[in-house]
Structure 1
Amino acid sequence: MSAISLTILGIVAFSLWIYFLWSRRRFYKIAWQLPGPPSLPLIGMGLNMMNPETLLPYLEKISEKYKTPFISWMGINCVLYVNDPNTMEKVFNSPHCTNKGDFYRFMSSAIGDGLFTSSSPRWNKHRRLINPAFSRQILDNFLPIFNTEANVLLKKFGTEGQDGKVKLEIYEMLKKSVLEAACQTTMGKKMDFHNDGSAVIFESYNILTEVCARRMLSPWLYPDILYQYSSLYLKQKKVVNVLFGFIENLLSDLMTTQDKSADEPANTDNNDNDIFVKRKQKEIFIEQMRNNVNQGQFTWKDVRDEANVTIAATFETTSTALYIVCLCLAMHPESQEKLYAELVEIFPDNSDTNNIYHEVTSEHLQRMTYTETVINEAMRLFAPVPVVIRRAMADFELPNGVVIPKGTQIVMDIFNMQRNKDIWGSEAHSYRPDLHFGPDAQLKSHPFAFVPFTKGVRMCIGYRYALMLMKVVLAKIFRNYRLQTDAKIKDINVKCTISLKLHKYPLCTATKR
């Protein structure tokens, strides 16, 4: 190649680089206004944040060193870090910040573009169509299923726990109960996970969230062409095939019926029709999806995507939150005894062994105020979704007057905000339900200082579902058993993989009341 050609190529490359920098001048300006930790060219803070096991402690450390909110970089993405309630409120309530961050495309490419990952206008349409499936009236219809699955769990406690003589893997038991309830209440299908081999499903969900998180934290894997040659991609491909097969199995009966109904006249005497009519009266998630397909609102691919994400989100976050509540109560017997006193008042007669399976009703749930207090305190300490990322769809102004440019990725560190001593006091890292959430709580925190299900326009669609299921299961467990563990709060180490995970899941003993 001649010297002239090399010179021309150099001039073109330099011009493109200057244009690239000029097109991003507003990001550099905001980085000067809100300075954060130094970043490397092209990879940003990738080397410091690539490990999910150390991510949350690292974010806590840099948030103490730099005034938040501050700007940093992940790859070439401009990132606004937020861990204060005033900015959280501004972001969650802004119509310009409803879209998830660009990093979530890694998850949507793996399991489908459902409500958890989708952006406007797709998200607006799907949320509007799916909302009725999570109304309070529909959720009340799920209570018999919640009760049944909690009763199965109690039987396992009795047979496997041997009245406190054997330590139980409570997390594994809860995962089976929650996944079974999720499949029945959203898909209308009983799977019998308690007795059937379900380890491959649990492991697949676990691997998938970790793979997606590791890719989010590794800027060099952002380009698809590079990611496809990585070991993470091979893991993802394997577990995605497992999960897609699982979802296809859940949808198979409904899709077969849909295909038949397109070719056959309606028959009111048909047993299959009778089954679907009964299910339709409840308007469960999958029935509403089927109606949306019939009306041309959804394709079957949309249904698969939403089913996959709904099952994953319900199972991953709720089972972890339930386990954390059980673990915190096992570590704090004084709070457990106070909860037991509330449950004895609500369910007074337990002398007959048959009464171990009290039917929890919606009226009971409304009376379970301390139950909700212990749930909230556990979710404050261990946020089920520790970090949420949004994308600024337009310029918007922060509470401090600084204007954030369109395209900025906004990382909201819920985990560390909910443990911040400036907000929650000197015992922010301790499990103190009455201090932080009791009726006589000494601290009246900012309304956006506690956001386990986020808040605002894009608040989690399933938060009522999760709270109802947790209350039913906790009522059954702690009305009938006393949990104990050798673990301590200070010894619990967490990792950030989309949803919260623990390094180790301590065992507990269950002694009959």
Structure 2
Amino acid sequence: MAIFAIIFTALSYASAIGLFLIIGWYVYVQKFAKYLGNIPGPTPLPVIGNALMFTDSNATLKVCDKLFKEHGKITKVWIGIEPIILVSDYKAIETILSSAKLIEKSQLYKFLHSWLGSGLLTSAGPKWKKRRRMLTPSYHFQILEQFVPTFNKVSNNLVQELKNINNKNCLDIYPYVTLATLDVICETAMGVPINALQNKTSNYVHSVKEMGRITMERVFSPLQQIDLLYGFTENGKTEQECLKILHGHTLSVIKTRKEELGRDPNSSVDNMVDEFGKKKKIAFLDMLLQTTDNGQPLSDDDIREEVDTFMFEGHDTTASGVSFTLYEIANNPDVQKKILEEQNDIFGNDDRDATYQDLANMRYLEMVIKEGLRLYPSVPLYARTAFEDIQLTDDIWCPKGSTIAILAYHIHRDPRFFSDPEKFNPDRFAAENNTGKNPYSFVPFSAGPRNCIGQKFAFMELKSMISKIVRNFELSPVVPAHKPELVAEAILKSNNGIMIKLQERYERTHL
């Protein structure tokens, strides 16, 4: 009898807790009911909301596409007790991105705080404005020009790595490109080569990949969003291991670089020269070490936040852009022919490295890259928090405290702005066709006050890497035909790889 009493008591407590959660959820939902009633969306379940729709990141884009078709270009879902307003409506996107007030990133970005702290990507308010103003000079063209030799060196290493592969008839290009972009960002952000292409099993490389995966899984998991429970999950334990490696590496590099600068009488960024009197390459870290805030140098943790942010934002995003663009080049021989003609006009028969001016002259390749980013935006969705009630359209308001998710992937494929939107057509971005009447229909780097500070850096790296590959290889589709299964993690990826075929141009012309 005692056992039955215990069971009965336990069930009573469980029922009471369940009832409490349902009542709490209902009360919380009513807080937003005034405005959310005007926004259509699927019916949520108590407590968990619509979270079950997003348990598989492979299906996120398809689910959003289905929601937009069923409920319109502004729709809502609930993840646990949090309302998320999904937007692919042009007017609403323009309102959000052009606003000087709507610049606070969504609470969903809090899952990056353990890695990135409150750096440029995740900070808000006065701190973000101060950091943005502080870091903008780091992306001046005179600074970016110094990175071109690094782009060339890593691109050459990538080409050599691809040449060493025995079977190039069915190659997943993404793993190779992502290691190359990690090499670029490590050297340009920290000034320290990590040689990821040669050291593929590096703990640092593995930790970067794991943190990207974990972050997105937390976004759509009500259980993992609860910090108290998250620490006991497998992802929580993995994250702690990864953070020890990532933070340890960055802080070690900062310490070493500070000691080197302290010993160098010419340690000013303006005075850095080598033994031949030529100006040294300057990493972002060097500039951060000499940046002051109200006359005081940044702390090691402040510097680590920004260096880690550079690593996160400038690694997988670029790898995604390069890989998907190469896929489309392989599947569009007419486009590849035009790219090669432009490369021949610039380089002739010379196999030299590209200069800053050469990269600027690759205008057709830039159109190709933009079209690649239209179809496959590296960041397919990004989110803001409404700090006050915001009117998105004539009859739809977004209540204070709710999350607004902008679906760049979907606005990029809207036939109202891009005819035959599924077709890869770089000529869309020709000067005579790109009238600029709808600037918020193409937002791979966001737009407005909080646009990506590193987009010029990204375009230079994309051009450098793709130029080297096309000059050295003929790209073609694999057989049987391959179509990427798009996955919306923190970065757009393909669940089944990005498969292409490579043939060395030298071999092709000497058969």
Unaligned runs of 5+ in 2: 1-17, 507-511
* Pairwise CA distance, 1:104: 0.8
CA change 1:104–1:188 in 2 (3 A) is: same
2:15 is matched with which residue? none
> Would the aligned equivalents of 1:138 and 1:284 in 2 still touch at CA under 8 Å?
no
> Would the aligned equivalents of 2:21 and 2:47 in 1 still touch at CA under 8 Å?
no
CA change 1:41–1:332 in 2 (3 A) is: same
2:486 is matched with which residue? 494
1:9 is matched with which residue? none
Counterpart of 1:54 in structure 2: which amino acid?
A
Counterpart of 1:52 in structure 2: which amino acid?
S
1-structure distance, mates of 2:74, 2:413: 17
2:4 is matched with which residue? none
Q: Which of 40, 46, 59 is the matching residue for 1:41?
A: 46
Runs of 4 or more consecutive aligned structure 1 residues displaced over 6 Å after TM superposition: 13-24, 272-276, 442-445, 487-490
Q: Which of 179, 183, 189 is the matching residue for 2:192?
A: 189
* Pairwise CA distance, 1:178: 1.5
> Would the aligned equivalents of 1:180 and 1:192 in 2 still touch at CA under 8 Å?
yes
Q: Tell me the secondary structure at the aligned position of residue 273 of structure 2.
A: helix
2:221 is matched with which residue? 218
1:289 is matched with which residue? 288
Q: What TM-score, normalized by structure 1, do the two folds share?
A: 0.86
> Would the aligned equivalents of 1:423 and 1:445 in 2 still touch at CA under 8 Å?
no
> CA RMSD, aligned part only?
3.1
1:240 is matched with which residue? 243
2:304 is matched with which residue? 304
1:379 is matched with which residue? 373
1:412-451 aligned within 5 A: 412-425=406-419, 427-434=420-427, 436-439=428-431, 441=433, 446-451=438-443
Question: How many equivalent pairs are there?
Answer: 485
* Pairwise CA distance, 1:446: 2.1
CA change 1:297–1:251 in 2 (3 A) is: closer
2-structure distance, mates of 1:401, 1:205: 43
Q: What TM-score, normalized by structure 2, do the two folds share?
A: 0.86
CA change 1:129–1:37 in 2 (3 A) is: same
1:76 is matched with which residue? 81
* Pairwise CA distance, 1:90: 0.8
1:60 is matched with which residue? 65
2:313 is matched with which residue? 313
* Pairwise CA distance, 1:227: 1.1
Matched, 1:133 2:177: no
2-structure distance, mates of 1:32, 1:273: 58
2-structure distance, mates of 1:485, 1:19: 54
CA change 1:413–1:215 in 2 (3 A) is: same
1:400-415 aligned within 5 A: 400-415=394-409
1-structure distance, mates of 2:21, 2:472: 69
Counterpart of 2:81 in structure 1: which amino acid?
I
Counterpart of 1:319 in structure 2: which amino acid?
A
1:142-157 aligned within 5 A: 142-157=147-162
2-structure distance, mates of 1:376, 1:455: 15
2-structure distance, mates of 1:137, 1:91: 32
Q: Tell me the secondary structure at the aligned position of residue 474 of structure 2.
A: strand
* Pairwise CA distance, 1:297: 4.9
CA change 1:462–1:443 in 2 (3 A) is: closer
1:397 is matched with which residue? 391
Q: Tell me the secondary structure at the aligned position of residue 83 of structure 2.
A: strand
Q: Mean alpha-carbon deviation: is it higher for 459-468 or for 308-317?
A: 308-317
Unaligned runs of 5+ in 1: 1-12
2-structure distance, mates of 1:366, 1:253: 35
* Pairwise CA distance, 1:32: 0.9
2-structure distance, mates of 1:276, 1:458: 32
Q: Tell me the secondary structure at the aligned position of residue 411 of structure 1.
A: strand
CA change 1:209–1:157 in 2 (3 A) is: closer
Counterpart of 2:365 in structure 1: which amino acid?
T
Counterpart of 1:504 in structure 2: which amino acid?
N
2-structure distance, mates of 1:182, 1:103: 25
The C-alpha deviation readout for 1:100-131, integer Å capped at 9, x for no partner, is 10011011124433222222222112111111
> Would the aligned equivalents of 2:389 and 2:399 in 1 still touch at CA under 8 Å?
yes
CA change 1:276–1:191 in 2 (3 A) is: farther
Q: Mean alpha-carbon deviation: is it higher for 457-466 or for 20-29?
A: 20-29
Counterpart of 1:329 in structure 2: which amino acid?
I
* Pairwise CA distance, 1:432: 2.1
1:200-349 aligned within 5 A: 200-257=203-260, 261=262, 268=265, 277-278=272-273, 284-292=283-291, 295-348=295-348
The C-alpha deviation readout for 1:290-348, integer Å capped at 9, x for no partner, is 11369425221111121112112111100121111111111211211111111111212
1:10 is matched with which residue? none
The C-alpha deviation readout for 1:386-432, integer Å capped at 9, x for no partner, is 1101001222222325332221200111112212334323x312222
> Would the aligned equivalents of 1:495 and 1:502 in 2 still touch at CA under 8 Å?
yes
1-structure distance, mates of 2:115, 2:38: 37
The C-alpha deviation readout for 1:267-304, integer Å capped at 9, x for no partner, is 73x8x889983399765411221113694252211111
Q: Tell me the secondary structure at the aligned position of residue 33 of structure 1.
A: coil
1-structure distance, mates of 2:209, 2:384: 23
Counterpart of 1:61 in structure 2: which amino acid?
K
2-structure distance, mates of 1:144, 1:491: 34
2-structure distance, mates of 1:215, 1:184: 30
